[in-house]
């Protein structure tokens, strides 16, 4: 087979050749160029959109897109140059207006041009990677007009000058400003930033630096802050009216930095008007302003808190260490509460209840309350005073308020067990003397303490209340069964106290008068008849008695006295005059108590039912006492020497403290054992840490004491030391 | 073509409906002359896709078309090229892998004054003689001539194409001497020399190209690469690398953005990187290379893609990756010694990571909770790992995959060849954005398939080698968006059930040994399958019908009897190109 | 149809098609034309002449406008294009950006 012939394929000629007149492109372009001119000359009405659009379409179709595009650039540039000249020629104040007007014109022209050249925009431009028409128009405007050397600086200067004028109080054309800044933003955010914002911020910084210097020399703190706030608001308003919203943060930073941050320290510590003065004078408005302003700058609030904290700590410290103020515990505590109230109010009204401020306040209080070791005692005395008479006639809600405030102070105490001890004592006295204002108030406080500290804290206290109630029932039963027998004798009211619940007292001797002894014995047998296996002992140092006394001119008075005083006074039924020694012998009351008792009977104005010879403040062993015939009193009932809770004397205080320390030892030991039992092996530092953590709700244990307790436990073979590591301990089961 | 011209698109579809449709307009000369080029390009594309294109038809596009893409098209030969040669405004021509293109075919292109881009890759019949024809196309800017029949001489001839900016000479026997002839091509920006005979001497010549920004020297004997001031992308895969890019004058270093060293050996280990300006590097591929230490990573703060697969990478080096993790988007750590601890080091340092591959590493389920701390992840490959999907605690086991629910953008998850079982897949139903799920394990049962129904936006499901039953497939209700269901290796499924499923869900492509339908090729220029229509446009909701099976226009009219006899024994079947043997006939 | 809501499209041969503005604005080009600032003749007179679009094609285009509005409202019908019209229609559609 022969090789096939080489094929030549023939191409058929087209019947109609496409003829593109070389002048065709130029002709078409001229039509469009003319149209663009007309558009810029505001002469475009009546032109046919379709015709122009079609011409542009044909140019692109016949591959003259490049010519069209470069023609567009040239024509537009030409017109923009003309526009530039006319703007440059405008005088002074009309510069911005002319710029604004021409900008609006350009935008309108641009849109029209883009619409008629839309076909090129969507087909030729993407494939040739050229800038689209709209963007091109903006870029040319930016390059030819805005960045022309004359206009660029003039524009910047004009804008900044207007801002300066507005800052010094003049009214400027804000609408015009807005249009201009919007133009800059449309041209690109870097145009806005480089041509305007950057300089605006610089100039503003200088302005505020000067102004703040001026103000700080001439104004006091409050005034200065007012001015600063005003300027800040002004700037924010300025932004909202004619600047880019993103400038707000930047300009407020400038103001904050120049006006507040640079002068922070000086403002806060300003003499006679600084922060401390504001706190002292309760200047809520000023403080609030300071808070809002300082909040904006780094470490602003930290500074305020620091100064406030040291001020509170100083004030508090003076309060708790001033011997004058410590004389009256009730007053002392009241002052503490007042101080807290004052600052709570400030934090609420001026510092918008900011938690960090609250915390600072709390920590300050905790700090200075615990400086004075007698704070627990004083707080208990304050409560005592309130529950005894302070809350008489006060509404239930107000009672709760006061008790809540007490609880708040209680929480600050580190030695809560000391408070407990005093509270118990004081409560006992209140209960036994029946001198409590409201049982409900008492119970309410107990509940609050229970919520705060747990069941163990209040179980004994509740026991006391129970005893009181039980005693009432017992007395009823007593009189019910033996009522007839007792007849006209003295009326007895007994409170039976369970030993564990009540504060322990040393058992004192006292000889009760015969009249009393009888009934007491009857009670004893009655009680033991119904409760076997118990032992009763009379607590003569805690009782009270009501005596009917008749004086010289026949005035009768009812005397409310302590049991001791009763024993003493009953002696005078049989004698008009008695010497100290005789009284001592007859009553067998302990010396210090007897002395005090006689003091209150004879040396106190208005209560001297006895006369002492020789008259003096103190009781001496060879004093003699006479029944005071001439005693007078306005009142029928005379209270003499009720057993009132008093601020302890120094030696008493020492004693109580010792007892507290003693009580703490077993608690520490119990904690150590609990911890070691669960951990088995632990090192010394960790034991101290854990023990502290466990006991911190009651008191702050002393690490030295903890160490001693550990040694003691080792001796008693609860723990042993590790043989290798002396700091490790092991639990011995 | 923009998307907004709906009517235009409809017109093109209507024009290419069938051979008869084409016949109605192919003689409308005037309209064809006025056709805008982008419309002509689109019309031509559609004709080709619909198998309606033949050489004579090309003629009508002579004055309009600017771009022609006929790659992989075996029917393209001299005749086609003859018509194409007459195109007045042709800018770009791609006839790569068109096996019938030979030197004569290229003759048709001589003197084309508009052609800027030409792709002849893998046209093995093109030799030095063919190149001569190309030399007259002075406008040529981009030329791809890799894996053709050129010799070094032919390559040297290309030096007269002085407008070239892109030149692909891959797989050709380019020698140093040939390269030196090309020095006059000063506009060259992109040069591909993979698999050529270039040596270090040739590499020094490369310095002479002032604008060279892309250079591929993979599979060559080059070991030293000199300084090139404008180089941005450098590929030295499968090479032995000695010295790279010594500093130029004044300590200036080239602003490299992309480096590929896959499979290469580093003679100087990581010291190689000392002379490179790495702070602009965006892409680094050192997979399967000889590197042992990775301290050089520390200076690459701009890195977005990092491929460390098959490297000596371990947990001790992960920290170096974490240091530069801020911009990282793609990270490949497959086939390394990285374990869950390593992933833990990475977590929290890669806020922008979108693509993470940990296939065939030492990780376990613990790694998954670390992975959940990479908020931008879209694609995760955990295949071939010891992952169970369960974390064992004291007496219970919790699903480890639950942690991934926090990844809002997670689209693809690959768990093939892991130890994940049905129960562990339960958390998947809460993955908001999951579109692809790949599973391959013999322990997976019907339950896994059921769970897939609840994932509402899945497009691709792959459950291979599983013990899925016919019943399960029958009852399976696929998510509305499902496009591909890969069930290869599920040996319990039978042919009838599969074809029933396919009939019921014609828009889902099912892959299985028994599935008759073939996958649609990725390149739309491949032969159209006898299966699915590739687009379901909302406007064309006509029931799918078989496309024109007569893919040829009857060309018999053009040949004489003798020619036909010669052609008789070479059937040109277009339906299954991978299977059919294509017999080449020399029409010379 | 109120006069203000309509626009007149005139073909190369002079045939006039009066259609709703809403329909006409399916074409982006016509939309731009009618909404462009500056008083072009078309907006002033409410009519557009297309000297290069034939009557048949312009008619088809108007049909397409209405079909497109209907389709957007949910009525999914078919819009048939005769194959011999496809080239011209395509170019007109491209010109009118629809």
Chains near C (3 or more Cβ pairs under 8 Å): A, B
Q: B210 vs B279, which has greater pLDDT?
A: B210
Distant-in-sequence, close-in-space partners of A358: CB < 8 Å, separation ≥ 6: A347
Phi first, then psi: what are they for B287, rounded to 5°? -65, 145
CB contact under 8 A, B5 and C94: yes
**What's the pLDDT band for B551 if we cut at 50, 70, 90?**
very low
Contact residues on chain A for C37, CB-CB shorter than 8 A? 108, 111-112
B89 touches chain A (CB under 8 A): yes
CB contact under 8 A, B14 and C83: yes
Residues 128-147 of A with CB under 8 A from C: none
Nearest to A230 by CA among A245, A208, A210, A250: A208
Residue B280 pLDDT greater than 50, yes or no: yes
Residue B535 pLDDT greater than 60, yes or no: no
CB contact under 8 A, B20 and C94: no
Mutation target among C64, C74, C83, C85 for the B interface, most CBs of B within 10 A: C83
Bridge partners of B233? Answer: B214, B258
Structural domains in chain A, sorted by start: 24-146 (1.20.1310.10), 543-639 (3.30.230.130), 661-731 (1.10.10.10)
Sheet with A637-639, side-by-side order of all strands? A544-550, A556-562, A637-639
pLDDT tens digit string along B41-55?
999 999 999 999 999
Q: Which helix (H) or strand (E) holds B397?
A: strand B397-399
CB contact under 8 A, A48 and C40: yes
**What's the pLDDT band for B525 if we cut at 50, 70, 90?**
very low
- State the Cα–Cα distance between residues A80 and B307, nearest whole angstrom: 52
Query: At the top level of CATH, which class does the domain B66-150 belong to?
Result: alpha beta
Residues 27-86 of C with CB under 8 A from B: 28, 61, 64, 68, 71, 76, 78-84, 86
- State the Cα–Cα distance between residues A502 and A46, nearest whole angstrom: 111
Mutation target among C25, C31, C36, C92 for the A interface, most CBs of A within 10 A: C36
B210 touches chain A (CB under 8 A): no
Tokens of B98: 């068109």
Q: Which chain A residue is nearest to residue C48, measuring alpha carbons? A: A50
Q: How far is B491 from chain A (nearest CA, A)?
A: 52
A9 touches chain B (CB under 8 A): yes
Residue B540 pLDDT greater than 70, yes or no: no
Q: Which chain C residue is nearest to residue B35, measuring alpha carbons? A: C91
> What average pLDDT does range B324-333 have in this prediction?
93
**What's the pLDDT band for A636 if we cut at 50, 70, 90?**
confident
Contact residues on chain B for C84, CB-CB shorter than 8 A? 24-25, 28
CB contact under 8 A, A7 and B2: no
pLDDT tens digit string along A434-492?
778 788 888 889 999 998 888 888 888 888 888 888 988 988 888 888 777 766 778 88
- With an 8 Å Cβ cutoff, the interface of chain C facing chain A consists of 28-29, 32-33, 36-44, 48-52, 95, 97
Contact residues on chain C for A46, CB-CB shorter than 8 A? 39-41, 44
* Length of chain A measured in residues: 733
**What's the pLDDT band for A522 if we cut at 50, 70, 90?**
confident
pLDDT tens digit string along B184-225?
999 999 999 999 999 999 999 998 899 999 999 999 999 888
Distant-in-sequence, close-in-space partners of B102: CB < 8 Å, separation ≥ 6: B78, B123, B125, B126, B130
Q: How far is A117 from chain C (nearest CA, A)?
A: 10
Residue among A44, A53, A54 whose CB faces C38 most closely: A44
pLDDT tens digit string along A163-179?
999 999 999 999 999 99
DSSP-derived secondary structure for B205-264: HGGG-TT--EEE-TTSS--EE---TT--EEE-TTSEE-EE----GGG------EEE-TT-
- State the Cα–Cα distance between residues B345 and B342, nearest whole angstrom: 5
CB contact under 8 A, B29 and A60: no
**What's the pLDDT band for B569 if we cut at 50, 70, 90?**
low
Q: What is the pLDDT of residue A595?
A: 84
Domain locations along chain C: 3-96
Q: Assess contact for B93 and B71: CB atoms under 8 A.
A: no
Question: Which has the minimum average pLDDT: A392-396, A642-646, A690-694, B446-450?
Answer: A642-646
Mutation target among B29, B90, B559 for the A interface, most CBs of A within 10 A: B29
**What's the pLDDT band for B391 if we cut at 50, 70, 90?**
confident
Domain locations along chain B: 1-64, 66-150, 535-588
> What average pLDDT does range A77-100 have in this prediction?
91
CB contact under 8 A, B14 and C81: yes
CB contact under 8 A, B79 and A123: no
> What average pLDDT does range A276-286 have in this prediction?
93
DSSP-derived secondary structure for A240-303: HHHS-TTHHHHHHHHHIIIIIGGGHHHHHT-TTTSHHHHHHTT-HHHHHHHHHHHTTSTTHHHH
Q: B80 vs A16, which has greater pLDDT?
A: B80
- State the Cα–Cα distance between residues B194 and B216, nearest whole angstrom: 6
Q: What is the pLDDT of residue C88?
A: 93
Tokens of A90: 């405008």
Mutation target among C12, C27, C40, C92 for the A interface, most CBs of A within 10 A: C40
Residue among B36, B82, B566 whose CB faces A9 most closely: B82
- State the Cα–Cα distance between residues B268 and B296, nearest whole angstrom: 13
Q: Which chain B residue is nearest to residue A2, measuring alpha carbons? A: B562
Interface predicted TM-score of the whole assembly (ipTM), two decimals: 0.95
Residues 26-85 of A with CB under 8 A from C: 39, 44-50, 53-54, 57
**Model confidence, pTM:** 0.72
Does the domain spanning C3-96 belong to CATH 3.60.15.10?
Answer: no
- State the Cα–Cα distance between residues C90 and C69, nearest whole angstrom: 19
A60 touches chain B (CB under 8 A): yes
Contact residues on chain A for C48, CB-CB shorter than 8 A? 49-50
Mean pLDDT in chain B? 84
Residue among B34, B86, B587 whose CB faces A11 most closely: B86
> What average pLDDT does range B470-493 have in this prediction?
90
Range with top average pLDDT, A575-579, B341-345, B531-535: B341-345
Residue among A45, A50, A118 whose CB faces C38 most closely: A45
**What's the pLDDT band for A546 if we cut at 50, 70, 90?**
confident
pLDDT tens digit string along A132-172?
999 999 999 999 999 998 899 999 999 999 999 999 999 99
Residue A284 pLDDT greater than 70, yes or no: yes
Q: How far is B34 from chain A (nearest CA, A)?
A: 8
Q: Which chain B residue is nearest to residue A11, measuring alpha carbons? A: B83
CB contact under 8 A, C42 and A53: no
CB contact under 8 A, C39 and A46: yes
Q: What is the pLDDT of residue B455?
A: 84
Residues 86-125 of A with CB under 8 A from B: 122-123
Mean pLDDT in chain A? 87
């Amino acid at each position: 087979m022969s090789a096939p012939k080489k094929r030549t394929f023939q191409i058929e000629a087209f019947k109609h050749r496409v003829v593109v007149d070389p002048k065709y492109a130029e002709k078409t372009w001229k039509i469009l160029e003319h149209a663009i001119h007309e558009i810029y000359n505001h002469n475009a009405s009546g032109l046919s959109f379709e015709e122009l659009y079609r011409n542009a379409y044909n140019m692109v179709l016949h591959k003259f897109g490049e010519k069209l595009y470069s023609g567009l650039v040239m024509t537009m540039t030409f017109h923009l140059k003309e526009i530039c000249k006319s703007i440059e020629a405008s005088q002074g104040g009309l510069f911005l207006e002319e710029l604004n007007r021409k900008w609006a014109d350009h935008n309108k022209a641009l849109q029209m041009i883009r619409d008629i050249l839309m076909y090129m925009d969507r087909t030729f431009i993407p494939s040739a990677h050229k800038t689209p028409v709209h963007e091109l128009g903006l870029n040319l405007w930016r390059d030819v007009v805005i960045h022309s050397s004359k206009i660029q600086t003039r524009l910047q200067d004009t804008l900044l000058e207007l801002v300066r004028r507005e800052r010094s109080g003049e009214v400027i054309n804000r609408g015009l400003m807005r249009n201009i800044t919007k133009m800059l933003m449309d041209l690109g955010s870097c145009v806005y930033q480089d041509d305007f914002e950057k300089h605006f911020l610089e100039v503003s910084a200088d302005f505020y630096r000067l102004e703040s210097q001026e103000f700080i020399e001439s104004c006091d703190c409050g005034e200065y802050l007012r001015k600063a706030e005003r300027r800040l608001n002004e700037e924010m308003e300025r932004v909202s009216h004619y600047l880019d919203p993103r400038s707000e943060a930047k300009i407020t930073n400038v103001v904050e930095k120049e006006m507040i941050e640079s002068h922070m320290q000086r403002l806060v510590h300003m003499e006679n008007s600084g922060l401390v003065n504001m706190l002292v004078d309760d200047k809520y408005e000023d403080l609030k302003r300071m808070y809002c302003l300082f909040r904006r700058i780094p470490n602003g609030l930290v500074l305020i808190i620091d100064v406030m904290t040291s001020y509170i700590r100083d004030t508090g410290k003076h309060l708790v260490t001033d011997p004058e103020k410590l004389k009256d515990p009730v007053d002392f505590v009241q002052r503490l509460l007042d101080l807290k109230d004052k600052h709570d109010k400030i934090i609420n009204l001026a510092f918008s209840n900011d938690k960090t401020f609250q915390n600072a306040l709390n920590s300050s209080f905790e700090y200075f309350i615990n400086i004075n070791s007698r704070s627990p005692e004083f707080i208990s005395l304050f409560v005592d005073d309130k529950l005894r008479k302070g809350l008489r006639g006060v509404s239930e809600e107000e009672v709760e308020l006061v008790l809540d405030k007490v609880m708040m102070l209680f929480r600050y105490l580190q030695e809560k067990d000391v408070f407990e001890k005093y509270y118990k004592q004081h409560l006992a006295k209140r209960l036994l003397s029946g001198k409590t204002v409201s049982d409900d108030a008492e119970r309410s406080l107990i509940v609050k303490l229970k919520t705060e500290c747990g069941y163990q804290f209040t179980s004994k206290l509740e026991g006391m209340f129970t005893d009181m109630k039980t005693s009432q029932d017992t007395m009823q039963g007593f009189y019910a069964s033996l009522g007839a027998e007792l007849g006209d004798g003295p009326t007895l009211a007994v409170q039976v106290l369970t030993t564990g619940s009540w504060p322990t007292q040393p058992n004192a001797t006292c000889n009760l008068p015969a009249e009393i002894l009888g009934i007491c014995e009857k009670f004893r047998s009655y009680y033991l008849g119904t409760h076997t296996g118990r032992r009763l002992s009379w607590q003569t140092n805690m009782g009270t008695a009501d005596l009917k006394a008749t004086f010289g001119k026949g005035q009768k008075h009812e005397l409310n006295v302590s049991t001791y005083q009763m024993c003493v006074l009953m002696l005078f039924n049989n004698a008009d005059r008695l010497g100290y020694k005789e009284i001592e012998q007859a009553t067998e009351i302990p010396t210090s108590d007897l002395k005090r008792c006689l003091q209150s009977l004879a040396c106190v104005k208005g209560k001297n039912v006895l006369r002492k010879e020789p008259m003096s403040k103190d009781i001496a062993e060879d004093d003699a006492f006479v029944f005071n015939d001439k005693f007078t009193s306005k009142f029928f009932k005379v209270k003499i020497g009720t057993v009132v809770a008093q601020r302890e004397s120094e030696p008493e205080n020492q004693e109580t403290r010792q007892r507290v320390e003693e009580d703490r030892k077993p608690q520490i030991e119990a904690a150590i054992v609990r911890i070691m039992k669960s951990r088995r092996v632990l090192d010394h530092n960790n034991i101290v840490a854990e023990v502290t953590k466990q006991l911190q709700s009651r008191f702050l244990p002393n690490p030295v004491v903890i160490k001693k307790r550990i040694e003691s436990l080792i001796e008693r073979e609860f723990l042993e030391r590790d043989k290798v590591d002396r700091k490790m301990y092991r639990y011995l089961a | 073509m923009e998307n907004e011209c709906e009517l235009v698109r409809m017109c093109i579809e209507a024009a290419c409906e069938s051979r008869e449709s084409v016949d109605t307009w192919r003689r409308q000369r005037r309209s064809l002359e006025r056709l805008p080029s982008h419309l002509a390009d689109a019309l031509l594309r559609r004709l080709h896709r619909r198998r309606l294109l033949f050489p004579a038809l090309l003629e009508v596009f002579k004055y309009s078309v600017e771009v022609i893409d006929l790659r992989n098209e075996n029917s393209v030969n001299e005749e086609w090229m003859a018509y194409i040669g007459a195109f007045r405004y042709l800018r770009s021509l791609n006839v790569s892998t068109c096996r019938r293109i030979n030197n004569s075919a290229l003759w048709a292109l001589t003197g084309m004054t508009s052609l800027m881009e030409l792709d002849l890759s893998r046209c093995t019949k093109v030799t030095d003689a063919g190149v001569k024809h190309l030399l007259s196309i002075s406008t040529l800017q981009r030329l791809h001539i890799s894996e053709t029949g050129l010799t070094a001489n032919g390559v040297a001839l290309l030096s007269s194409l002085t407008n070239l900016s892109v030149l692909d000479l891959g797989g050709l026997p380019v020698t140093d001497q040939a390269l030196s002839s090309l020095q006059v091509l000063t506009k060259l920006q992109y040069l591909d020399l993979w698999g050529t005979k270039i040596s270090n001497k040739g590499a020094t010549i490369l310095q002479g190209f002032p604008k060279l920004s892309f250079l591929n020297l993979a599979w060559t004997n080059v070991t030293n690469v000199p300084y090139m001031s404008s180089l941005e992308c450098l590929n030295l895969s499968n090479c032995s690398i000695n010295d790279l890019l010594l500093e130029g004058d004044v300590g200036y270093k080239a602003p490299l953005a992309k480096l590929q060293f896959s499979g290469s050996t580093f003679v100087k280990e990581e010291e190689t990187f000392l002379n490179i300006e790495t702070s602009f590097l965006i892409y680094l591929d050192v997979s399967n290379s000889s590197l042992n230490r990775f301290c050089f990573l520390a200076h690459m703060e701009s890195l977005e893609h990092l491929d460390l697969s098959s490297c000596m990478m371990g947990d001790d080096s992960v920290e170096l990756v974490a240091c530069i993790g801020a911009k990282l988007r793609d990270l490949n750590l497959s086939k390394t010694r990285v374990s869950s601890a390593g992933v833990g080091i990475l977590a929290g340092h890669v806020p922008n990571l979108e693509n993470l591959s940990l296939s065939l590493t030492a990780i376990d389920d613990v790694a998954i909770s670390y992975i959940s701390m990479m908020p931008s992840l879209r694609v995760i490959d955990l295949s071939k790992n010891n992952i169970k999907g369960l974390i064992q605690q004291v007496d219970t086991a919790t699903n480890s995959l639950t942690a991934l629910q926090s990844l809002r953008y997670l689209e693809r998850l690959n768990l093939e060849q892991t130890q994940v079982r049905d129960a562990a897949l339960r958390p998947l139903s809460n993955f908001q954005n999951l579109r692809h799920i790949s599973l391959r394990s013999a322990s997976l049962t019907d339950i896994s398939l059921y769970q897939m129904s609840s994932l509402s936006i899945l497009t691709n499901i792959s459950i291979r080698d599983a013990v899925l039953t016919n019943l399960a497939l029958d009852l399976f209700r696929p998510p509305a968006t499902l496009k591909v269901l890969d069930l290869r290796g599920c040996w319990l499924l039978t042919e009838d059930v599969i074809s029933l499923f396919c009939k019921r869900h014609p828009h889902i492509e099912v892959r299985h040994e028994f599935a008759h339908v073939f996958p649609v090729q990725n390149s739309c220029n491949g032969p159209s399958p006898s299966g699915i229509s590739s687009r379901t446009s909302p406007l064309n909701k006509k029931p799918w019908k078989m496309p024109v099976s007569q893919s040829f226009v009857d060309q018999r009219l053009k040949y004489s009897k003798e020619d036909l006899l010669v052609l008789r024994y070479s059937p040109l079947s277009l339906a299954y190109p991978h299977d059919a043997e294509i017999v080449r006939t020399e029409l010379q | 149809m109120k006069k203000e809501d309509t626009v007149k499209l005139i073909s190369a041969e002079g045939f006039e098609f009066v259609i709703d503005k809403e329909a006409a604005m399916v074409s982006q080009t016509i939309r731009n034309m009618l909404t462009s600032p500056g008083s072009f003749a078309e907006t002033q007179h409410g009519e557009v002449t297309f000297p290069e679009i034939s009557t048949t094609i312009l008619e088809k285009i108007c049909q397409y406008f209405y079909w497109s509005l209907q389709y957007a409202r949910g009525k999914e019908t078919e819009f048939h294009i005769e194959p011999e019209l496809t080239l011209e229609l395509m170019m007109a559609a491209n010109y009118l950006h629809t």
